[in-house]
Structure 1
Amino acid sequence: MAVAAWEALFRAQVSIMRRLSAEFPTEVMSLNEYDVLFNISRAPGRRLRLKDLNRHVLISQPSVSRLVDRLAARDWVEKTDDPLDGRGTIVQLTAKGFQEFRRAAIHHMEAITDRMGGGLDEDELRQLIDLCDRLREAQDPPPTGQQREG
């Protein structure tokens, strides 16, 4: 049963991502650039260590580094040395980058709503959120001695 559930989840995700990618609302940025900007925008102060950004995005580490360099060249992000780790890099969203992100986000959220809301009602969407959160949390067990809230 677990394999069949995985297959269904995976195929649904691939199908939706293909449609969202094809419908992505702007010629100004790619869906991968949007993903990077989205993750930085959610971080406190709209800044994130590059190492942490790599953990959250859907592309590989070398691709993230190159993409961040392209975003910096467009003045959408700034890169600075991490004061707590001399080897690390902090990536911060600029005002210009946040403006471009917000512009794309409005249209992207509408496309997501059409794709997800068109197939599931509100209760089913809540169930899906709960199930996906539980699956994701199960992949990273809490440190020894700590229990999950539940």
Structure 2
Amino acid sequence: MSNTPEPRWLDEEEDFTWRAVWSLMTWLPVKLEAQLREDHGLSLYEYYALSQISEAPNRAIRLSELAGITNMTLSHLSRVISRMMKAGWVERVVDPNDGRYTLGQLTDAGWDKVVEMAPGHVEAVRHAIFDQLTDEQIHALGEASARVAEAVSPHGKVTGRPGS
């Protein structure tokens, strides 16, 4: 006789929810990346890295912190930053507060690129998500997504919560 607990199988509603979440995780990034690649020749990861640097104080962030926020390995992020440096959008600079760290610093050209790309990206996000939902559904999706993201992310938090 085994002491292995019986699996907690998903009920019908949970199975539907899981399949919907899986489809969302699969297809939403594909849709958003297609818009960025078509309009600007950049990947979703590249856009996300640029946008996170643009939102950081003084438009600079430790690359190790950026890797965590964007869920990129340091080697992947290094390749992304190198491509953005080649385009003139980002510089690597020594962290003035702790010389052991390197910052990704947005250049003026990088800021201009973010300003150029943001409206189209926001419209793609709005069309894919918010135009499909009522205000109540938007709130519920945000709260539910934050709970799951906080449970699975290594830093246990979601940025940008209204009122925080």
1:21 matched residue in structure 2: 33
Shift of residue 94 of structure 1?
Answer: 1.0
Distance 1:10 1:98 in 2: 34
Distance 1:83 1:118 in 2: 44
AA aligned to 2:82 is D
Which of 96, 120, 140 is the aligned partner of 1:83? Answer: 96
The answer to whether structure 1 residue 98 and structure 2 residue 102 are counterparts is: no
* CA deviation string 1:14-65 (max 9, x = no partner): 1111112222252343322111101111211111000000001143321111
SS in 1 for 2:40: coil
How many residues get paired?
142
AA aligned to 2:21 is L
State the percentage of identical aligned residues: 30
Which of 117, 120, 125 is the aligned partner of 2:133? Answer: 120
Over aligned residues, Cα RMSD in angstroms?
Answer: 2.2
Q: Higher strand fraction: Structure 1 or Structure 2? A: 1
2:20 matched residue in structure 1: 8
Further displaced range: 82-91 or 132-141: 132-141
AA aligned to 1:17 is P
Which of 108, 131, 144 is the aligned partner of 2:144? Answer: 131
Q: Which runs of 5+ in 2 are unaligned?
A: 1-9, 158-164
Distance 1:55 1:71 in 2: 18
Distance 2:40 2:51 in 1: 17
Further displaced range: 121-130 or 58-67: 58-67
TM-score by length of 1: 0.82
AA aligned to 2:63 is L
SS in 1 for 2:61: strand
Distance 2:64 2:143 in 1: 27
* CA deviation string 1:73-112 (max 9, x = no partner): 2210111112333331011111110111111110011011
Which of 50, 63, 66 is the aligned partner of 2:76? Answer: 63
By relative contact order (CA 8 Å, sep 6+), the higher-ranking structure is 1
Q: Which runs of 5+ in 1 are unaligned?
A: 143-150
Is residue 53–residue 59 contact of structure 2 (8 Å, CA) maintained in 1? yes
SS in 1 for 2:99: strand
Distance 2:64 2:42 in 1: 22
Structure having the higher Rg:
2
